[in-house]
């Protein structure tokens, strides 16, 4: 019997849902550490991925035909080897739209309302109504401000919708300049610096590709409006960390909220930890209690097509673009 291996915990209801979508397939739900080489080699489909199974799963005699990742990003997968073997790859793009956009606004609102400064004062039993955190020295509001969203996919679209509800002007940056609802102007990546010059707030949700690696570098910060707030919930290596720190120290960036980093976990001695104008979260901005439900929804739709001999209709990764 053909086998599908899931590396993540599923409820009995979710397993039944998948079995009904793919009759004739055996579903195996196991931790990666509990998989024998024989099981890995015989699996036709993987739901989830791990470096520990890669070598065995990609051997010449393995039966692997399709990988559905549990994550939206695929930059850590062996893309070239998967492409060479003709393996279909789909990601979980779309599952993060609501939790990430809500995280973005939690981060964004903390700066004009100085919540991050108030929390630090609370830890010191300190009453200070001036809330004079470095970088942003007065209380303000986001209404009427300009938000630049770098990467207008599912997350960017939901972020733009929320921004409009807050009365913001929204500028988008992505590979295509095709218009989007709730985006006042769209630029291609070539126009990133022009867009940054108009931003009061920058949100980065770009995927990591050869084109976007270190796209937020010293030149980008020189092009940005002085005192801009930067929020990164995309990919750590899209940002040149040294250039970011320099811009923060010089006040060119008024504040930064960072969920992702070039090196994770962020080392305890890293200078970002001690910067009062920086908010740090440990790569959790997309986590929520409905994550598995949304991944299974995508996988089920793809699975129904796959067993009919069709390509998965949702989130098929383009190996050339790397997303």
Q: What is the pLDDT of residues 274-320, one digit of tens each?
A: 999 999 999 999 999 999 999 999 999 999 999 999 999 999 999 99
- Categorise residue 249: left if φ over 0, alpha if ψ from -120 to 50, beta otherwise: alpha
Q: Is the Cα torsion angle 42, 47, 48, 49 positive or negative in sign?
A: positive
203 membership: H or E segment, kind and range: strand 201-204
| Secondary structure class of 125 (helix, strand, coil) | coil
**Does 220 score more than 70 pLDDT?**
yes
Spatial CA neighbour of 148 closest among 218, 100, 99, 198: 198
- Find the mean pLDDT for residues 191-196: 98
- The pLDDT of residue 206 is 97
Which of 92-106, 124-138, 160-174, 218-232 has the lowest average pLDDT?
Answer: 124-138
List residues with catalytic annotation: 235, 264, 283
In angstroms, rounded to a whole number, what is the distance separating the alpha carbons of residues 15 and 19? 6
- Provide the percentage of residues in the chain whose pLDDT is more than 70: 98
Domain ranges of the chain: 2-94+289-306, 97-280
Averaged pLDDT of the chain: 96
Binned at pLDDT 50, 70 and 90, residue 130 comes out as confident
Binned at pLDDT 50, 70 and 90, residue 131 comes out as confident
According to CATH, the topology of domain 2-94+289-306 is: Rossmann fold (3.40.50)
314: Cβ contacts below 8 Å, ≥ 6 apart: 90, 94, 298, 301, 302
DSSP state of 310: P
Return the structure tokens found at 109.
Answer: 């609102």
- The pLDDT of residue 136 is 62
Q: Do domains 2-94+289-306 and 97-280 have the same CATH topology?
A: yes
Which of 37-41, 134-138, 190-194 has the lowest average pLDDT?
Answer: 134-138
Spatial CA neighbour of 229 closest among 262, 257, 250, 193: 257
Q: Do residues 301 and 61 lie in contact, with contact meaning Cβ atoms separated by under 8 Å?
A: no
- The pLDDT of residue 133 is 62
According to CATH, the topology of domain 97-280 is: Rossmann fold (3.40.50)
Binned at pLDDT 50, 70 and 90, residue 137 comes out as low
- Find the mean pLDDT for residues 221-231: 97
Q: What is the pLDDT of residues 70-91, one digit of tens each?
A: 999 999 999 999 999 999 999 9
With 0-12 / 13-18 / 19 or more C-beta atoms within 10 angstroms meaning exposed / middle / buried, residue 165 is exposed
The per-residue DSSP string of 12-73 comes to HHHHHHHHHHSTTEEEEE--GGG--HHHHHHEEEEES--HHHHHHHTSTT----EEE-SSS-
Question: How many residues belong to the chain?
Answer: 323
First to last CA, the chain: 31
- Find the mean pLDDT for residues 113-124: 92
Binned at pLDDT 50, 70 and 90, residue 134 comes out as low
Q: Do residues 3 and 26 lie in contact, with contact meaning Cβ atoms separated by under 8 Å?
A: yes
């Amino acid at each position: 019997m053909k086998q599908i291996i899931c590396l993540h915990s599923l409820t009995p209801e979710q397993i039944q849902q998948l079995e009904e979508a793919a009759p004739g397939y055996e579903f195996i739900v196991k931790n990666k550490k509990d998989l024998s080489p024989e099981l890995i080699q015989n699996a036709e489909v993987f739901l989830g991925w791990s470096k520990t199974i890669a070598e065995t799963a990609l051997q010449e005699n393995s039966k692997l035909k399709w990988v559905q990742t549990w994550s939206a990003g695929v930059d850590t997968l062996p893309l070239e080897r998967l492409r060479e073997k003709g393996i279909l790859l789909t990601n979980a793009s779309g599952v993060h739209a609501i939790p990430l956009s809500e995280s973005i606004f939690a981060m964004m609102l903390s700066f004009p309302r100085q919540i991050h400064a108030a929390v630090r004062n609370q830890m010191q039993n300190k009453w200070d109504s001036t809330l004079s955190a470095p970088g942003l020295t007065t209380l303000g509001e986001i209404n009427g401000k300009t938000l630049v969203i770098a990467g207008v996919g599912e997350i960017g679209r939901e972020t733009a919708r929320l921004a409009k509800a807050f009365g913001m002007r929204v500028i988008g940056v992505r590979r295509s300049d095709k218009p989007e609802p709730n985006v006042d102007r769209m630029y291609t990546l070539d126009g990133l610096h022009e867009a940054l010059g108009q931003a009061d707030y920058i949100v980065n949700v770009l995927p990591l590709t050869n084109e976007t690696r270190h796209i937020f570098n010293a030149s980008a910060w020189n092009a940005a409006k002085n005192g801009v707030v930067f929020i990164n919930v995309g990919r750590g290596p899209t940002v040149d960390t040294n250039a970011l720190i320099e811009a923060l120290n010089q006040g060119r960036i008024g504040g930064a909220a960072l969920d992702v980093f070039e090196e994770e976990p962020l080392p305890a001695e890293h200078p970002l930890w001690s910067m009062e104008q920086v908010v740090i979260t440990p790569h959790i901005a997309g986590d929520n209690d409905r994550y598995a439900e949304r991944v299974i929804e995508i996988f089920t739709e793809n699975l129904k097509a796959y067993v009919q001999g069709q390509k998965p209709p949702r989130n098929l990764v383009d190996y050339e673009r790397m997303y």
